[in-house]
Structure 1
Amino acid sequence: MVDAVVTVFLEKLLGALSEESRVFSEFRDKFETLQFELQLMRSFLKDAERLKRKNETFRCVMANLRELIYEAEDILADCQLQSRDDGLFSSGWFMCTNPFKLPFQYQTGKSLGEINRKIASIKQNIPSYLGVPLLNQLEPINAQNDQMPRQSSPVYDHTQVVGLEGDASKLKEWLFEADKGILAIGVVGMGGLGKTTIAQKVFNDRKIEERFDRRIWVSVSQNFSEEQIMRSMLRNLGDVSVGDDKGELLKKINEYLLGKRFLIVMDDVWGSDFTWWHTIYEALPKGNGSSIIITTRIEKVAQKMGVKKARSHWPKCLSKDDSWLLFQKIAFAADGGECKHPDLENVGKEIVEKCKGLPLAIKAVGGIMLCKPSHYHEWRRIADHFHDELAEDDNSVIASLQLSYDELPSYLKSCFLCLSLYPEDCVITKDQLVHWWLGEGFIPLRNGRSAIEAGEDCFSGLTNRCLLEVVEKTYHGTISTCKIHDMVRDLVIKMAEHDAFFSTKDNNCRHLGIASSMAQKANHKLRALLSTTKTGEVNKIASNTAKKFCESRNLRAMDLSRSIFDTPLSGLLHQIGVLQHLTYLNVSNTHPLVQLPPSLDKLSNLQVLDVSYCQNLKMLPPCITTFKKLRVLVASHCGSLEYLPKHLGRLSNLEVLLGFKPAKSSQLEGCRIGELRNLIQLRTLGIRLSCCDEIGDTEVNVLVNLQELQHLSISCFDSHGNNDLTAKLDKLFPPQQLHELSLEFYPGKMSPSWLNPISLPILRYLSISSGNLANMNENFWGNDNTVWKIEGLRLKSLSDFEEEWERLQRVMPALRVVDVSWCPELMSFPIENVGFKGGVWKEEVHKS
């Protein structure tokens, strides 16, 4: 990963050298020498990953180079901290006589000089054992393929299933034949064959959903406990079951399933001890045609879990035609899933043939080609590279994944290695990844791009390459959570351990995931400490462990979300001020958290602060308004938070602000809604309102000039149908370029007058949930020349909403995704296209 480390460092160095700081001017020549040497090496470092896998000596040299770059990055960060005080020590004579500055000057200059000498030596000695040209003969390069695109890349849907329809049909036939006892079905085969995909296709089938009263999906990791499996089953049934012992958990499972026909999928089962399964199986009610599907790589596993040979299914590899079809759908997704480049067809089929019909391998190489230019010579190079990987490992899945990693742009390699921290089958939120990447500087921020937009592009880059699997999307299709295939996880852990990014065996690495059992030691190399718990689980962290979190002085990212501490967190983090390099701090959903530690005021480098779901948090300290670099502030779902601090409008770099609770006129220390007009970089804004006093008469135009704002949500929870607030909201015009709008608990009976296709001409997604809304304002319907461009519509829990569905459709001709639930008065809704289950109506047909 040396090329990735160098890329991140050069990005930071480029920004630092552009600053007008005397601290940097003292070391400018040494930093510029370092920059020049590394730029010379970049063309060579692109191939270093493959070279070091074949040469042990070179691997050690590259490890030394990586450590030197990390050391230089820490020095750069220290210089930036010193620059904050530059104005206090502006005169040369004071600098020379100040005893606090002299040691820093001396040590920094000495360390940079030593780093430059060692890097120059590495560059000169590489040819002696690799037989490559002298690096000093190379010219600095502009690695176009390694740069982030100037514009956002499309996000493609790679969830298509090809060639597995027969497998799914066979399993469905067996399920419909079940009547007595519990039918056990096994799906057995090697990794990457599509076992989980087949099970998912069956599990989500409409007829299967109608047949079974309860459906439970459990991902069984290699390292699991009986209790974890039980809790996972109960979460599927809507019960978090915190605090129950195993006996009580089994009793609850039985009660939920008693008298019901259920389907349980145990996905990716390993191991030889099945005591856990026999315990659970005995507690399950029998009869009613209930069934269990087990996916595994090992036939004996299925047999020991009660699968008879007649109900064991071995999926076959994809046929030649299906393999090519699947490859086309991914590699040519930008062209509608069909090869329209005759010169690429032969080399494409050659690549597909090497995948040996394994869907995971085909998707991996297809993802690579999607992100490459459609040029024959580039495709030929990839085919040859794939051939070389297969020569080293004949497993086409492993070879394709290794190829995918090697072909990642360097900035995406750092992002990809972050996935190594997460346990098996862990559901990962996109926001956590993007905020972490932003905090640690993995995302290139040049070309005037929004930081969050650039981070989301990195996320799309990994999903488009099939290195991330989609778990959950919003109603309009935006990915919110993801996971990684276990074979992808094996690769990323191997690469992370090679590069000392993360290790499952050594806590003295640069990135660690928080676990309840961890025994944290002082680790001065540590850059990121993150909560990586699975859905529905929490970290229970002892005080003596938590107190050590602030001892890692080079920490950039600290995410303590979903954690429970035995004493107040503000006390445990009272020394957080020493972490002056910290850029990402997440304490969301932690307990107990009533206030943030006072020393937070020293964290001037913070770019992301997340305190969401802290129900006992009563206030945010005024110091956050001095964090000039802050880009993301999330304070949503903080029920006790009365307002945000005054002068929030000074945060000119803020791009995301969620949970904004404006102060009333009597709350003099709070931020009024009028300050939002200064946040001209805002892309995403979530406002929480409860009374009209929170919007002054001169503040109703506060949003209209926020030209970067794309996503706006307004929640009026606890407003109790306030008519005065409704009148103010009717004047709170959003900007015209708004892309997505969400209204929750809207207090008025009539929609606001600005909710019309003329005022919001490019609105694509509209969500209205809860509240008193009964009718749409006349402006909503537009006119003969103006209709909505809305593509996604969600109407939820609107008990009084009595408009006609057909009329809504007429003014939204571009509508393709609809989610309607608990709207009993909605007239002429197309019942033939919906399912009615549990009181929820949802249109299943996506309109083209």
Structure 2
Amino acid sequence: MGGIGKSTLAKKIFNDRRIEDEFQLKIWVCVPKEVKGEEVLKCVIRGAGGEPGYTNKRSELVPILERHVNGKKFFLVLDDVWAESRAVWDDLLRAPMSSGAHGSRLLVTSRDERVANGMRATKSHRVEKLSDEDGWSLLIKQVLPNGIESEIEDHREIGMQIVEKCDGLPLAIKSIGGVLCTKGNLRENWQAILRSNVWSMDGLPGDVHRAIYLSYEDLPPPLKQCFIFCSLFPEDFEFNKTDLIYRWLAEGFLHDKEDFWELGNEYYTELLQRNILEDTNKYHNQVECKMHDLLWSFTCQLGKGENCSGGQTVSRFEGSMKVRRLSIKGTEVNIEVIKKEKGLRTLIYFEPEIALDDLCKSFSNLRIIDLGSSHSNLSSLPDSLCDLVHLRYLDISNTELVKIPNSIGNLRNLVYFCCYGCQELSHVPPSIGNLRELRYLNFRNTKVEAIPMELSNLEKLSHLFGFVPYKNSLEGFSSLDGLESLSKLIDLLLEGLDRVSDRTIAERANLRSKNLLLVLNLEYTSLSSEEQLSQTDEKKISTEDVLNELCPPRFVKVVVIDGYFGRRLPNWLNLGAVALPNLRDIGILECACFEVLPMLGQLPNLHRLKIRGAYSVERVGEEFMQGDTKSKDPIVHTISGSARPAFPKLNELIFEEMPNWKEWHWNKGQPAMPKLKELCIEACPELRSLPEGLLLYATSLEFLQIIHADKLITVENIPSIKDIRVLRNPNLARISNLPNISNISIDHCPNLKAVMNPKALQTMRLCDYKMKLLPDYLTTTMSRKLIIRCDEELLLNIANQGESDSEWHKFKHISKVKVSTKDESLHATYQKTPFSFTTNVNANRVQMT
């Protein structure tokens, strides 16, 4: 049954941190009903970190897959396998995936029990429908993000009737919840939904539930267009928010062209809120989404006529429909038949081989050409493409493009031009300055190192990525002052900033005045720590001066500084709420020369902070932790009422690769980080202890990860922690007084002697392939479940449960225990009640009693 939650459950397992720890590779593949073996192989190869190239031959793809999984322990999910496609494992993937390490796992979701039986599943789990009470709880979560039922307690009777009509299907309930959350909490609105005629409709296509159809019918007309447009992409396709909004703009779905970004964000947010699109949860700011397979099938039905997509569907197309949008996936396509459709406006290609010149000559009304997912071997743009006067969206990313022709300037209506990942591209013609309608331009991951000064003509540009400023503005190329006229920038990524040494050029960029700018990435040439430190004082000073002039506007939300080798971070980071009151996310990455962190604690809306590669920082002290003592806002005052705490909204804090950091000073007189939930410290080998202030004031901290902190001795007295991971900390001796801990992972911490007071502990994971004996602290561990990874010698000792020198008595009080070697070739399991002890260790090696 579709929409019952199979994929949701599988995704929770897939994203679980324990899976991350257990497997070297995690691969997710959505298996279409009409499966194409070559496409599945390509998807698995990419999931394994490989690149299939341009081949479509199974005989060439299989060896590529074998190489990428060879000797690696993988977790493979085949999602939504149909009876028609169940041979995808036995006939296609089983052989090449058998080169993976022992202990690899396959998880399959399907609506058909015959799939599980046919694939000889060792364990199966049936996802049941929700009870009415659980359905009501889910509905509340959709309608009220804070989940406070009292706000709609008068609607419970109506709500329960709506839940009953949804038949216990989570997707149906979420769809109706998405409708209700746009209606407010008026009782008559709920009654209108309950009385809708849709509930009695018959003849809906496929597996579409009436609740889903009602959700669609409730959409405003522009949102219906945006929804149906998504049918052009494959099932389980992951949409980038920015690209999707620009596609909508190119199609004419965003009628306010001047304020298109605000309107596009409203549409995107509403489709998420209505559960029509769902966040992939890969990023923290909802910049990537996908569509449930049932909704995707539904939108494919709705789009029939104007939209044509897929491989076999296109191959059967005979030109009888007025197709406006076409996506091609698969090689079985009759191009000659397609060419009859003179009204075609959108062309999306998912295949590497494309006769672009021929297609452009045939379709003079094209608005969108999207080759971004084709990985095409396209090396040049045909003249016919540059004659498409209606073209608005051109994505040629990840192709073999070498040169952009001068005739590109003919595309006067182009709003989106993406060359991301065209690694052979080095030249941009001056005619690009003729693209005065352009809003999006991307040269990221190319060889382009100079952009003509005509860039300054693009005054409507909103998104600019991969701009490498020229050293000056005297040779016909654009430097930082070329940004001066680009007042509508929203998202800006600058590369190679160290090429500019004149601060007056940076000053003329006038970033401070660009009030629409929300995201600013400032990147320098990638250098090692040693290379950064060896830069001359003169170069370091000029680098500092230039960055000081690149102060973003007060409305900016994200700032990333990467590879900067100045001795001080920019002054504007020290101005807190005065200069950057809306800043939510900061990344300071691979900056080896600065020694003192700025006063970031004064930023009132900072949610996430990541500092990586701060080679010269030895101490994090009061200047970093200082809050805004001048604040008069009573909402943000501390309990004492004197001033708000430092980092009042910080949720996530990450310190990585700081080899000389020794001390984190945060005294008990400085309240800070009251909303911090996640703290990660990695590769900070000189750090001796966690600060006292963290223990006192970070009362919301739930997740703590510490990796390779060689001199850290204790982790204790953090009552809010629920999940802790300590990996490769050779001198860690004690973990104690964590009363609310539920999960502990201990990986190669050989001197850990005490793990005390974990009263709420559910799961402990212990991994050390060098330990000869299990640690004594296990005898007092009250975990419900224990997972041990060790070498073969220790496992054999444990398996000898009847021998006097065995180790099993150290964990016999724990409910469930699993012990295995690294590759799981040997393993043993123990259960306290009812007692069982099993192992695959050969009987002639182990005497069992």
TM-score, with length taken from structure 1: 0.68
2:279 matched to which residue of 1?
470
- Identity, in percent, stands at 29
Return the match for 1:305 from 99, 116, 119: 119
2:353 matched to which residue of 1?
541
Deviation at 1:412, TM superposition (A): 0.6
Residue 734 to residue 208, structure 1, CA distance change in 2 (3 Å) = closer
Quick one: distance in 2 between partners of 1:838 and 1:492?
49
Q: Secondary structure at the match of 2:394?
A: strand
Quick one: distance in 2 between partners of 1:424 and 1:825?
48
Quick one: distance in 2 between partners of 1:208 and 1:500?
39
Q: Secondary structure at the match of 1:754?
A: helix
Deviation at 1:550, TM superposition (A): 3.8
2:465 matched to which residue of 1?
658
Residue 260 to residue 698, structure 1, CA distance change in 2 (3 Å) = closer
Measured against aligned partners, the alpha-carbon deviations of 1:713-737 in whole angstroms (never above 9, x if no partner) come to 1111257644222332233322222
1:177 matched to which residue of 2?
none
Map of 1:32-111 to 2, 5 A cutoff? none
Report which of the two has the higher share of helix.
Answer: 1
Residue 419 to residue 290, structure 1, CA distance change in 2 (3 Å) = same
Contact kept, 8 Å, 2:306 with 2:323, in 1: the verdict is no
Amino acid at match of 2:345: R
2:394 matched to which residue of 1?
585
Amino acid at match of 2:364: R
Contact kept, 8 Å, 2:365 with 2:390, in 1: the verdict is yes
Quick one: distance in 2 between partners of 1:274 and 1:551?
40
Deviation at 1:360, TM superposition (A): 0.9
Amino acid at match of 2:558: E
1:187 matched to which residue of 2?
none
Contact kept, 8 Å, 2:27 with 2:47, in 1: the verdict is yes
Residue 589 to residue 733, structure 1, CA distance change in 2 (3 Å) = same
Quick one: distance in 2 between partners of 1:459 and 1:805?
42
Quick one: distance in 2 between partners of 1:258 and 1:577?
46
Question: What's the RMSD between the two structures over aligned residues?
Answer: 3.5
Map of 1:478-493 to 2, 5 A cutoff? 478-493=285-300
Deviation at 1:839, TM superposition (A): 11
Residue 339 to residue 809, structure 1, CA distance change in 2 (3 Å) = farther
Q: Where in structure 1 are there 5+ consecutive unaligned residues?
A: 1-189, 534-538
2:368 matched to which residue of 1?
557
Map of 1:309-328 to 2, 5 A cutoff? 311-328=123-140
Deviation at 1:326, TM superposition (A): 0.5
Return the match for 1:525 from 340, 343, 354: 343
Q: Secondary structure at the match of 2:586?
A: strand
1:332 matched to which residue of 2?
144
Quick one: distance in 1 between partners of 2:327 and 2:722?
39
Q: Where in structure 2 are there 5+ consecutive unaligned residues?
A: 533-538, 627-645, 665-678, 682-701, 713-720, 725-849
Return the match for 1:804 from 600, 617, 620: 620
Quick one: distance in 2 between partners of 1:806 and 1:263?
45
Amino acid at match of 1:529: L
Deviation at 1:248, TM superposition (A): 6.9
Q: Secondary structure at the match of 1:795?
A: strand
Contact kept, 8 Å, 1:274 with 1:304, in 2: the verdict is yes
Quick one: distance in 2 between partners of 1:387 and 1:495?
16
2:504 matched to which residue of 1?
697
Amino acid at match of 2:544: T
Contact kept, 8 Å, 1:657 with 1:685, in 2: the verdict is yes
Deviation at 1:556, TM superposition (A): 1.5
Contact kept, 8 Å, 2:563 with 2:589, in 1: the verdict is yes
Contact kept, 8 Å, 1:561 with 1:589, in 2: the verdict is yes
Map of 1:422-821 to 2, 5 A cutoff? 422-445=233-256, 450-474=259-283, 477-497=284-304, 504-505=313-314, 506=317, 509-515=323-329, 517=331, 518=333, 519=335, 520-531=338-349, 533=350, 539-543=351-355, 545-563=356-374, 568-570=379-381, 573-591=382-400, 593-638=401-446, 640-665=447-472, 667-693=474-500, 695-697=502-504, 699-700=506-507, 702-718=510-526, 721=532, 722-723=539-540, 724-756=542-574, 757=576, 758-776=578-596, 780=599, 786-804=602-620, 808=624, 811-821=646-656
Map of 1:373-388 to 2, 5 A cutoff? 373-385=184-196, 387-388=198-199
Contact kept, 8 Å, 2:582 with 2:605, in 1: the verdict is yes
Q: Does 1:224 align with 2:35?
A: yes
Measured against aligned partners, the alpha-carbon deviations of 1:682-713 in whole angstroms (never above 9, x if no partner) come to 22211123435464525425212222222111
Residue 219 to residue 818, structure 1, CA distance change in 2 (3 Å) = farther
Return the match for 1:371 from 182, 202, 209: 182
Quick one: distance in 2 between partners of 1:564 and 1:211?
32
Q: Does 1:402 align with 2:213?
A: yes
**Which one scores higher on RCO, CA 8 angstroms, separation ≥ 6?**
1
Quick one: distance in 1 between partners of 2:11 and 2:187?
36
Quick one: distance in 2 between partners of 1:277 and 1:467?
31
Amino acid at match of 1:555: L
Contact kept, 8 Å, 1:502 with 1:510, in 2: the verdict is no
Residue 256 to residue 730, structure 1, CA distance change in 2 (3 Å) = same
Measured against aligned partners, the alpha-carbon deviations of 1:158-186 in whole angstroms (never above 9, x if no partner) come to xxxxxxxxxxxxxxxxxxxxxxxxxxxxx
Stretch moving more, 611-620 or 292-301: 611-620
Residue 806 to residue 454, structure 1, CA distance change in 2 (3 Å) = farther
Contact kept, 8 Å, 1:673 with 1:695, in 2: the verdict is no
Quick one: distance in 2 between partners of 1:527 and 1:212?
45
Amino acid at match of 2:191: R
1:362 matched to which residue of 2?
173
Return the match for 1:281 from 90, 94, 100: 94
Residue 522 to residue 549, structure 1, CA distance change in 2 (3 Å) = farther
Contact kept, 8 Å, 2:419 with 2:442, in 1: the verdict is yes
Q: Secondary structure at the match of 1:697?
A: helix
Quick one: distance in 2 between partners of 1:428 and 1:682?
22
Residue 682 to residue 253, structure 1, CA distance change in 2 (3 Å) = closer
Q: Does 1:268 align with 2:103?
A: no
Contact kept, 8 Å, 1:221 with 1:425, in 2: the verdict is no
Stretch moving more, 285-294 or 224-233: 285-294
Quick one: distance in 2 between partners of 1:287 and 1:632?
44
